[in-house]
Chain A
Amino acid sequence: MKLKVLLILVFVLFFSNGLFAQTQADDPVSLVERITGQIFTDVTENLDEYTANPEALEDLVRNDLMPLLDINYSARLILGRAGRGLPKEKIDEFATCMTNLLINRYSKSLLHFSSKIKLQVLPQRGDLNPKLTRVRTRISLPEGGEAPVDYAFHKTPEGWKAFDVVVEGISYVTTYRNQIMPEVQANGIDSVIERLSTGQMQLAE
């Protein structure tokens, strides 16, 4: 009897796993659900460890999040005209700096809020645009109310990648573009990279 139950259990697990692998879709909504779920579970389970060692959390976030991001595209959008004629390495360096700041900020808020907030990923509305789409999420705040956070995705040869975060209508790309483009034009890219990497510029939420 016990064996039978065990067999059924193994079968169910195996089958559902197989099913899961098959339906592990790579559309943007599923991607966001999967990755954020992964990060949230990990943080809640190891909260003490990460509080003691925030760098470990940054590594976790980086590993989970980076495959999902098109940081170079974000960098090009932010630099706009100021990025014309810049060597590719400079743009890469700039993109890395921006991403480090973003990951640092994201990790910090995870530590603060992960146990108190709930994240809800809204379903795709209408048909999925084959090139450009947004994933809408709602974060319920501890003091009540919801913060809407949207992610802009575009299709790349390596699949769907996110390149912008929009919080309550405020786009990360647009806001930074309007700060950084004139700064690069006035002071040059090296000075901006310097300012970003020494933490003199904080990221707006």
Chain B
Amino acid sequence: MQRTRSMISIIMLVLLLAGCAGTQSRNTDPENDPWEGYNRKVYAFNEGMDKVVRPIAVGYDKIMPDPLQRGVGNFFRNLDAVVTYVNLVLQGKFRESADTFGRFFINSTAGLLGFIDVASKLGIPFYNEDLGQTMATWGYDDSRYLMLPFFGPSTFRDGTGRLADSFYHPVGRAIHGYGKWGMLIFRGIDTRARYLDQDAELESAYDPYVLMRDVWMQNRRYQIYDGDPPMLDYDLYLEDDYAPEEPATSDKQ
């Protein structure tokens, strides 16, 4: 309980910092990213962390044979089913939640604790949900971008959702002191290793911070709409005054 409280105070501190971030110099997307000054600081912090994490991830990627690494990915993905299941129920998607339950059961048993994705071979569909997506479907569909220390891109809504989900996520529970830190760190390294291919692109970008934000925000929207978002309004891109020079303050929460 003590650890939970300290976790909450860290979150409060992060939010407080975010609230003070009114003096930023840059504002590339005032509508979606009103906390850009703060977010860029956290981004720089994460980049610093990456100087340590990346070499470990590179080593891990080299040592691990591909099939084993795939197995590890399957294992963690299978544990996510717990969060997906709860949130499918919260969204009223009962057929999908039944599928997810079946998938978790089969992969945890026949799939040897999830290392082998038997359910996919049997044609059971895969879903990915979390509380952030649930809140989005409940009507909280726009939220300001929030860069989380260690965990990376998020929004205010999704960061809150993530914290709530972590109380019962088999691996995420570690941050509240109920689970194994080792697992959480292992997952972090495994996840980092999966993004190694993208490093060169990020580095060569004109503004890596903006690239990461764009890619994450677009992909998130895609997840929220379960892979079928409405088509972009390309006409807006041709209009002269699409991106306002003197933006008003964001009304997003």
Contact = CB atoms under 8 A, between A and B. Distances in A.
A178 B204 contact: no
B218 A171 contact: yes
B16 interface: no
Interface of A: 76-77, 80-81, 84, 132, 134, 143-145, 148, 152, 154, 163-164, 168-171, 173-175, 177-183, 200-205
Interface residues of B, number: 33
B243 A169 contact: no
Interface string B205-240: 111001100110011111100010101101001101
Given A81-B240, A81-B242, A203 B201 contact: yes
9 contacts: A76-B238, A84-B240, A152-B231, A164-B232, A169-B227, A169-B229, A170-B222, A177-B237, A201-B204
A118 B31 CA distance: 39
B252 interface: no
A112 B28 CA distance: 36
Given A179-B207, A202-B204, A169 B214 contact: no
B90 to A, nearest CB: 22
A183 B206 contact: yes
A136 B246 CA distance: 37
Nearest to A203: B201
B243 A179 contact: no
B70 interface: yes
Contact of B222 (A145, A169, A175, A182): A169
B248 interface: no
Interface string B111-138: 0000001001000000000000000000
B52 interface: no
A143 B70 contact: yes
A171 B214 CA distance: 9
A79 B238 CA distance: 9
A205 B227 CA distance: 17
B218 A175 contact: yes
A174 B206 contact: no
B200 interface: yes
A204 B201 contact: yes
B183 to A, nearest CB: 23
Q: Which 5 interchain pairs have the tightest Cβ spacing? A: A169-B222, A183-B206, A77-B237, A170-B218, A179-B206
A173 B238 CA distance: 12
Contacts of A152: 231-232, 234
Contacts of B243: 80-81, 181
B23 interface: no
A164 B117 CA distance: 33
B21 to A, nearest CB: 21
A174 B234 CA distance: 9
A179 to B, nearest CB: 5
Contacts of A132: 231, 234
Contact of A182 (B198, B207, B223): B207
B194 to A, nearest CB: 11
B237 A173 contact: yes
Contacts of B242: 80-81
Contacts of B200: 202
A132 B205 CA distance: 30
Given A152-B232, A169-B229, A170-B215, A204 B198 contact: yes
